[in-house]
Structure 1
Amino acid sequence: MTITQLQYVLAVAEYQNFTHAAEKSFVTQPTLSMQIQKLEDELDILIFDRSKKPIQLTQVGEKIVEQAKNIVNESYRIKDIVDQQKGYIGGEYRLGIIPTIMPTLLPLFLKNFVNKYPKVNLKIEEQNTETLIEKLEDGYLDAAIAATPLDNENIKERALYYEPFVAYVPENHRLNKLDKVSVNDLDLDDILLLEDGHCFRDGVINLCKSKKGFRDEQFQLESGSFETMMKLADEGLGMTLLPYLHTLNMSETQKKHLRYFTEPNPAREVSLIYHKSELKIHITDALKDIISGVVRGAIAFQNVKIVSPLHKK
């Protein structure tokens, strides 16, 4: 039994296809299949049920995969120890980011990080929080950036920044004449929301639920992007709330519709999250330093307080 064989088993378990797993493992499909077959022969069991499409784990295969994750992770830890001792920051690093953060945060830090740490092969994917947590727990991601708190005992959270909510109020809206808005001014009846599954949507709903008289049966028009919600607001269909970083590259015309909140500003906590095993922590530390540095200069608000927790989506 070898670490490489266990890595191949984990790849097939993830992609449920030998060819795809071989491509992701950078070996030929016959090589990967032969190594897994050798492991099955050695153990005298079948790890995968090849008769099913897609390929599925057998009952004993599920137990082997769980143990293989631990063994492979511990082998990575040895390399981490050596890299940290040598001061080396490099290798593959898989990062996930939620959709409401990805478009605005990535351009702020990516170039700086790549320039400072050229030996890190950064692989980034966009997923919702639930999927990111699953991939962190399964070892398919090294870290992720999401709204917190999550209250997951397997996941560590390190706050990167607190991002204020900003109201986008069209000319014909009842709040347009206000210089600043407060949480008490909000009415879920006329707030355009992201579609279900976005944690920013849950944050807005939580904000409104903190008011007296909130009714769960109220109707909301929902959309999949902030840009669409702004266009709908411009058409007189309501107002919307945006994360502060999303407002930085708006046109001057659009910025005229922005209304900031009275203090304490409602905000979301954005954190770097990773598994409690803390693999590749030297790269995680480097990533946190870069992001915290650039965002600190981009967010003009100081002493922002979170007035409501976000749901775990």
Structure 2
Amino acid sequence: MTITQLSYVLAVAEHQNFTKAAEKCFVTQPTLSMQIQKLEDQLDILIFDRSKKPIELTDVGRKIVTQARNIVNESYRIQDIVDQQKGFIGGEFKLGIIPTIMPTLLPMFLKSFIKKHPKVKLKIEELTTDEIISRINDGHLDAAIVSTPLELDTIKERVLFYEPFVSYIPSSHRLHQNIKIEVSDLDLNDMLLLEDGHCFRDGVINLCKAFKKNTEEKFQIESGSIETLIKLSNEGLGMTLLPYLHTLDIKENEKQNLHYFKDPTPAREVSIIYHKSELKMQIIEALQSVISGIIRGAIAFQNVEIISPLAK
């Protein structure tokens, strides 16, 4: 039994196709098939049911894949040990970022990180929190930047910063004249929200529900982007809440619609998360250091109350 054979098994389990798995592993399909067949013969079991289309794992195959993933991940730790001993920060690093953080945070730190750590080859994807969790657990992401806490046994979290919520209230709205907003002023019935699947949406709902026990969730409009929510609000269709970093690039004529909360300001916790196996920690720590250093100059809020992204 070899690490290579186990890696081939994981590739077939992922793609449910021997040809696609071979392409991913940069080997010929006969080579990959022969090595998996050799492993099955050694164990005297079938890992894959080849009669199904697409190929499926057998019952024992599912258990083997779970263990194989642990073994392959642990094998990567040997290279980690060597890299850390040499003080090397480099190699490919796959990073996921949720949509409500990507457009504001990425431009702030990416250039600085690349300049400071030129040997790291970052591969960045914009993904939802659910997609990120799945990919971290499957070993397809090394880390991600999301709203926390997530309270997952398989994933560790390192807080990067706390980002306050800011109200965006058009002139036609009942709260526009309020200089400072109370959380108890909010009403989901006139709130523009992101589509289902965005953790910032869940944070807004949790914030409102904490003070409105009998609120009926009758949303007028839901959108996939914060920019669209701002445009809809400008049309008098309701107010919305924005993450603080989104307000830094807002148009000059729209700044009059920004209203801040009274202390303690509701905020979301933004963290870098990674698998409990703690692979590539030297790159994770480098990302944390660069982002934390940059963000300190952008967010000066101290008195905040963290709003959970977990749907309730």
The two structures have a TM-score, normalised by structure 2, of: 0.94
Give 1:169's aligned residue: 169
SS for the counterpart of 1:152 is coil
Within a 5 Å distance, the mapping from 1:291-302 to structure 2 comes to: 291-299=291-299, 301-302=300-301
Identify the residue that residue 29 of structure 2 maps to in structure 1: 29
Q: Which amino acid aligns with 1:242?
A: L
1:67 is the counterpart of 2:52: no
The answer to which of 106-115 and 198-207 deviates more is 106-115
Using the TM superposition, give the Cα deviation of residue 304 of structure 1 relative to its aligned residue in structure 2, in angstroms: 3.8
Equivalent position SS for 1:34: helix
2:254 match: 254
Other-structure match for 1:178: 178
CA distance in structure 2 between the partners assigned to 1:24 and 1:282 by the alignment:
26
Give the corresponding residue for 2:307: 308
Tell me how far 1:203 sits from its aligned partner. Answer: 0.6
Structure 1 residues 61-210: aligned runs within 5 Å: 61-210=61-210
* 1:116-166 deviation digits (Å, cap 9, x = unpaired): 222222222222212222222222221111111111122111100000111
Report how far residue 269 of structure 1 moved.
Answer: 0.1
Displacement of 1:95: 1.4
The number of residues matched between the two structures is 312
For 1:20 and 1:293, locate their aligned partners in 2 and report how far apart those are by CA, in whole Å.
42
Q: Within 5 Å, which residues of 2 pair with 1:25-64?
A: 25-64=25-64
Residues 1:136 and 1:307: Cα distance change in structure 2 (over 3 Å)? closer
- Cα shift readout 1:54-80 (whole Å, capped 9, x = no counterpart): 221111111111111111111111111
Give the AA of the match of 1:303.
Q
User: More deviation in 302-311 or 282-291?
Assistant: 302-311
Please list, as runs of the form range in 1=range in 2, the aligned pairs for 1:220-231 lying within 5 A after superposition. 220-231=220-231
> Is the 8 Å Cα contact of residues 269 and 307 (structure 2) preserved in structure 1?
no
Write out per-residue CA displacement over residues 159-217 of structure 1, whole angstroms, 9 at most, x where no aligned residue: 00000111111121112222222212211111101111111011111111121454234
Q: CA RMSD in A?
A: 1.8
Partner amino acid, structure 2, of 1:266: P
SS in 2 for 1:306: strand
Is the contact between residue 164 and residue 301 of structure 2 (CA under 8 Å) also seen in structure 1?
A: no
1:220 is displaced (CA, Å) by: 4.0
Whether contact under 8 Å (2:113, 2:287) holds in the other structure is: yes
For residues 277 and 307 of structure 1, what CA distance do their matches in structure 2 show? 27
> Structure 2 stretches of 5 or more lacking a match?
none
Question: Distance in 2 between the 1:177 and 1:255 partners?
Answer: 14
Give the CA deviation at 1:302: 2.2
Counterpart amino acid of residue 259 in structure 1: H
- Partners of 1:162 and 1:304 within 8 A in 2: no
Answer whether contact 2:195 2:201 (CA < 8 A) is retained. Answer: yes
Unaligned 5+ residue runs, structure 1?
none
**For 1:238, what is the secondary structure of its paired residue?**
coil
- Which structure 1 residue ranges, 4+ long, deviate > 6 Å from structure 2? none
What is the CA distance between 1:244 and its match in structure 2? Answer: 0.9
Tell me if the contact between 2:165 and 2:268 (Cα under 8 Å) persists in the aligned partners: yes
State which drifts further: 223-232 or 38-47: 38-47
- Per-residue Cα deviation, 1:269-290 (whole angstroms, up to 9, x for no partner): 0011111111111111111111
Per mean C-alpha deviation after superposition, the further-off stretch among 8-17 and 265-274 is: 8-17
